[in-house]
Amino acid sequence: MESIRVLVVDDSALMRRIITDILQSDPGIQVVATARNGKDALEVLARQQADVVTLDVEMPVMDGLQTLPKILQLYKLPVIMVSSLTMAGAEHTIRALELGAFDFIAKPSGSISLDLAKVSDELIAKVIAAGQHSKNIQSGFKFSTLFAKPKRIIESWRSAANTLPADSASQKPDVRVAGNIKHVVAIGTSTGGPRALQTVLSGLPSDLQAAVVVVQHMPAGFTKSLANRLDQLCAVRVHEAVHGQVLETGHVYLAPGDYHMEVAESGGQLSILLDQTPPVGGHRPAVNNLFRSVAALRAIHLQAVILTGMGSDGAEGLRLIKLAGGKTISEAKETCVVYGMPKAAFETGAVDAVVPLQQVAAQMMRFLTT
């Protein structure tokens, strides 16, 4: 098997060296070049073939957000953003994912992270997944949603941002109902999830007669920015979940990074439980934890939805929800950024509907009314 060729882009020579050493510790990865900013990266790509780009978010001359659309448009390569754990870094990373970045890695301790080895396994796994995806693209296998035209993507979120003011949450009609919830929809996703969630949740009406709970594999510090962004773009309310929060209809709850999330019933109400028990299958939050808790709810119409992502998290939980009488959906292969989690779910034999991403919201609504 050919090595995955990687271009490493970071303004710090030390970080370029550390990232290169981590990646080349895997025999299947070859760092073919490095660049110190986006301008240099584009010049390198003009003469050097690569399969994957790791791209720092914050750089002089041309930063990651300026460079990303050009790489997607000119070279159609999967890009993994490398971001610092700051509020600005998180917001920029969410924007990058909207623009079409394949995934991201969070630097553990700021722009210069000498302890990047803490996330070395994650970095290698994501580069391998991106590399496989790149080779699928090169061999003619097409995914319809990965490389949408950057200009169109940029215009879409700018248009949405202009339509909804910054305090848009207060402008939304209050159609939510606490207690006596009849429908709960549980969604699990990983790589490609932020854009997939935007597509699905923006297809739901503000008077949705269900509560939606979501696990997106994402580290602490990023889920709040993602929830805020989705809340701006969707008719339903979207928030990072809080321990003890009572579920309401027309409301979406996103598990905070580094916390497992479950749903529990007490006194006729459903509420959020958060904990930091050990990771499950390498994940915290874990989709399976959420789905198992939802499967245990009584006298509630349940749905499980698995969207794009690496690995198999959520497959077992989806099976339990199906056994509990719930309806189940998995995203179709042709629209997945990574067909890992939906594939594992489908292979359980417990999936009721396999649909392209753009049809997931409509399928959810059909299941709510049947």
Residue from 233, 221, 267, 242 nearest 87 by CA = 221
- The active-site residue out of 111, 113, 190, 312 is 190
Task: Specify whether 217 is catalytic.
Answer: yes
- The active-site residue out of 92, 133, 183, 217 is 217
Task: Specify whether 190 is catalytic.
Answer: yes
- Distance, in Å, from the CA atom of 53 to the CA atom of 78, rounded to the nearest integer, reads 7
Map the chain to HEC letters. CCCEEEEEECCCHHHHHHHHHHHHCCCCEEEEEEECCHHHHHHHHCCCCCCEEEEECCCCCCCHHHHHHHHHHHHCCCEEEEEECCHHHHHHHHHHHHHCCCEEEEECCCCCCCCHHHHHHHHHHHHHHHHHHHHHHHCCCCCCCCCCCHHHHHHHHHHHHHHCCCCHHHHCCCCCCECCCCEEEEEEECCCHHHHHHHHHCCCCCCCCCEEEEEECCCCCCHHHHHHHHHHHCCCEEEECCCCCECECCEEEECCCCCEEEEEEECCEEEEEEECCCCECCECCCHHHHHHHHHCCCCCEEEEEECCECCCCCHHHHHHHHHCCCEEEEECHHHCCCECHHHHHHCCCCCCEEECHHHHHHHHHHHHCC
- The active-site residue out of 11, 251, 313, 330 is 313
Task: Specify whether 313 is catalytic.
Answer: yes
Catalytic residue list: 190, 217, 313
